[in-house]
Amino acid sequence: MERKWWKEAVVYQIYPRSFQDSNGDGIGDLNGIRERLDYLKQLGIDVIWLSPIYQSPNDDNGYDISDYKKVMDEFGTMKDFDDLLKAAHENGIKILLDLVVNHTSDEHPWFLESRKSRENPYRDYYIWKEGKGEGEPPNNWGSCFGGSAWKLDEQTGMYYLHLFSPRQPDLNWENEKVRKEVFEMMDWWCRKGIDGFRMDVISMISKDPALPDGEVKDDLYGDFSPYAVHGPKVHTYLKEMNQKVLSNYDLMTVGETAGVTVEEARKYAGAREHELNMVFHFEHVEGDGELLKWTDKKPDLLRLKRILSRWQEELGDDAWNSLYWDNHDQPRAVSRFGDDSSRYREVSAKMLATCLHMMRGTPYIYQGEELGMTNFPFTELTQFRDIESLNAYKELTGKGLVSHEKMMSYLRCKSRDNARTPMQWDNGPAAGFSKGVPWIPVNPNYSEINAKKELADENSVFHYYRKLIRLRKNYKIIVYGSYQLIMKDDIRIFAYIRNLGTEKLLVLCNFSNEEAELSFPEGFKGEEAECLIYNYDCPPDIRQGRLRPYEAAVYYAEIK
Ligand code: NOJ
């Protein structure tokens, strides 16, 4: 297995809108991030992934870009970005930008031109089609944010494709000029000195040109995924991108590839494929919905173990895993996979961190996860800001598919806004996030859960993450060791062994709020094994063979 800096790195995702506001307008900004670099340095992370910072009308909080070479006004200026990049580099921290090129904003100059006339030179930058008939879109595809994926543009009487909101028209990657513009823009940022890209829905850039109808479920719209996810030319385009841009720099690249299988991931991230370094798969955070993505049930541990272990075991030595529990599109990890009650929040947040950070792959921490930040206790629809949540409420309750109460329960569990409430820095006004009124409410638990408090407590979730990161730096087995799931059918314990040469690691995690029994595997029973980290005040009792609720521990042994 080839050593690479991005395999050994720990990434920290920042959602700039909610991280730190420096000018009192209630919206986080780049100078705010710069002010917090010390905190990130103390945590020990190597790389920041910044969710989009570009000029945007914010229909989807920056994932709708109107100018790729300008910083969003609310976030600051290009000078602020340059200062941030410089300061991060001086602190030994690299920066990944979010690359959103499946679509632009409808306010991007390319789209403003494109919609003007059928003959406009930019017409072919987007995907335009005639309707099937009067008032009937070209096909039955539904958009990810509800409704049809097509919008009729009155000006020219044709429909354009938008797999997300109507204000996010899809770019036409078949058009060589589009690819050239995108590659030139990427190169421009690389020359500025950024360290890589997280590529937004990059698996969707190639569409089957026949645009066939999709299968209809729940009486809603047709599923576009067989025709627009891992589409016919996606790998051709990524190879071209790699050859023209990525290969000229020492970058880290991670593709957001919803619907990806292990086999497909090898194509995106195989070392010999010359496309990307790694991808985000979604199997462990998706596919458990009762109605589309929506559910209010706790995840099933056996399913979780099966999925994560398959990725660990089958991706092979040639490709590389990304590891995450949450991000800006997912609810808070501790509320979802752990237990956010005051009794178990800290211990279960540490258990989850142990389980993830001891796996093979590059771990991603989403802002606030290192504090054990929780979901928000939403009670009113007015507390939501997210386009996906608001549209889903309207569409699903509107069609009578779900009641108001049930939908609120779904949103409390799965709304993306759970992740987007402001970072909880201290117990002052607005949790130290802003001197103004935050754009989205602060979680009322901020006086209990905040960075200031955790920094001062050496047993906090924050310091536990620090230790995990330090262990990764000190033990190559954590980065490169092979993975083997044990106790496969245990419904409470997630346990696995890592191996590298003569070294062995045993990772034990109780995912339940009850005591769980186990027998320690050979080689870890006696004094030969050292407990590297544990989340209670002492390691588990090996002789008793029992884990306390949400207990986690990691043992290290060398075979002599
Ligand atoms: C995936 C991003 O993570 C999400 O936040 C966004 O809404 C969609 N892509 C559309 O860009």
Domains and CATH numbers, the chain: 5-102+177-381+419-465 (3.20.20.80), 109-161 (3.90.400.10), 382-414 (no CATH), 482-558 (2.60.40.1180)
46, 195, 200, 395: the active-site residue: 200
Residue 46 bears catalytic tag: no
State pLDDT tens for residues 375-410. 999 999 999 999 999 999 999 999 999 999 999 999
The residue whose CA is least distant from atom 6 of ligand 1 is: 63
State pLDDT tens for residues 267-325. 999 999 999 999 999 999 999 999 999 999 999 999 999 999 999 999 988 899 999 99
Q: Furthest-apart CA pair in the chain: how many Å?
A: 78
Strand-pair category, 530-534 with 503-510: unpaired
Instruction: Tell me the residue type at 398.
Output: G
State pLDDT tens for residues 95-118. 999 999 999 999 999 999 999 999
For the chain, how big is the Rg over CA atoms in Å?
23
pLDDT of residue 543: 76
The residue whose CA is least distant from atom 8 of ligand 1 is: 63
State pLDDT tens for residues 39-80. 999 999 999 999 999 999 999 999 999 999 999 999 999 999
Nearest of 358, 363, 362 to residue 481 by alpha carbon: 358
Distance, CA of 24 to CA of 19 (rounded, Å): 13
With beta carbons less than 8 A apart as the criterion, state whether 377 and 291 touch. no
Is the minimum distance from the CB of 369 to ligand 1 under 6 angstroms?
A: no
Q: What percent of the chain has pLDDT over 70?
A: 100
Residue 106 bears catalytic tag: no
Is the minimum distance from the CB of 237 to ligand 1 under 6 angstroms?
A: no
Distance, CA of 160 to CA of 178 (rounded, Å): 16
Distance, CA of 225 to CA of 509 (rounded, Å): 35
Q: Which of 164, 388, 418 for mutating ligand 1's site (highest number of atoms within 8 Å of CB)?
A: 164
Give one DSSP letter per residue of 464-499, joined into a string: HHHHHHHHHHH-HHHHH-EEEEESTT-SSEEEEEEE
With beta carbons less than 8 A apart as the criterion, state whether 481 and 360 touch. yes
Residue 526 pLDDT class (50, 70, 90 cuts): low
More confident residue, 122 or 542: 122
Under DSSP, is residue 12 helix (H, G, I), strand (E, B) or coil?
Answer: strand
State pLDDT tens for residues 332-371. 999 999 999 999 999 999 999 999 999 999 999 999 999 9
- Give the contacts of 13 (CB within 8 A, at least 6 positions apart): 48, 49, 51, 327, 328, 364, 365, 366, 367
Strand partners, 321: 279
State the average pLDDT for the chain: 97
Distance, CA of 84 to CA of 77 (rounded, Å): 11
Q: Which of 51, 58, 63 for mutating ligand 1's site (highest number of atoms within 8 Å of CB)?
A: 63
- Give the contacts of 364 (CB within 8 A, at least 6 positions apart): 10, 11, 12, 13, 49, 322, 323, 324, 327
Is the minimum distance from the CB of 64 to ligand 1 under 6 angstroms?
A: no
Number of helices (H), then strands (E), belonging to the chain: the values are 18, 20
CA of 432 to the centre of ligand 1 (A): 27
Strands (E), 321-431: 322-323, 362-366
Structure tokens at 145: 């944010």
Structure tokens at 293: 């993505």
256, 329, 340, 386: the active-site residue: 256
Is the minimum distance from the CB of 366 to ligand 1 under 6 angstroms?
A: no
Instruction: Tell me the residue type at 173.
Output: W
With beta carbons less than 8 A apart as the criterion, state whether 189 and 95 touch. no
Structure tokens at 36: 């917090």
Distance, CA of 268 to CA of 322 (rounded, Å): 13
- Which residue do the tokens 């884990």 mark? 547
**Total residues belonging to the chain:** 560
Structure tokens at 211: 């645009």
- Which residue do the tokens 């991706």 mark? 315
Is the minimum distance from the CB of 254 to ligand 1 under 6 angstroms?
A: no
Is the minimum distance from the CB of 386 to ligand 1 under 6 angstroms?
A: no
CA of 38 to the centre of ligand 1 (A): 29
Mean pLDDT of 124-130: 98
Whole-number Cα distances in Å, 175 to 4, 112, 166, 180, 253: 34, 17, 21, 9, 23
Q: Which atom of ligand 1 is nearest to the CA of 145?
A: 7
Residue 524 pLDDT class (50, 70, 90 cuts): confident
State pLDDT tens for residues 468-494. 999 999 999 999 999 999 999 999 999
Under DSSP, is residue 418 helix (H, G, I), strand (E, B) or coil?
Answer: helix
State pLDDT tens for residues 530-560. 999 999 999 998 778 999 999 999 999 998 7
pLDDT of residue 317: 86
- pLDDT of residue 430 exceeding 90, the answer is yes
User: Which 3-state string (H, E, C) describes 307-347?
Assistant: HHHHHHHHCCCCCCEEECCCCCCCCCHHHHCCCCCCCCHHH
pLDDT of residue 212: 97
Is the minimum distance from the CB of 194 to ligand 1 under 6 angstroms?
A: no
Is the minimum distance from the CB of 164 to ligand 1 under 6 angstroms?
A: yes
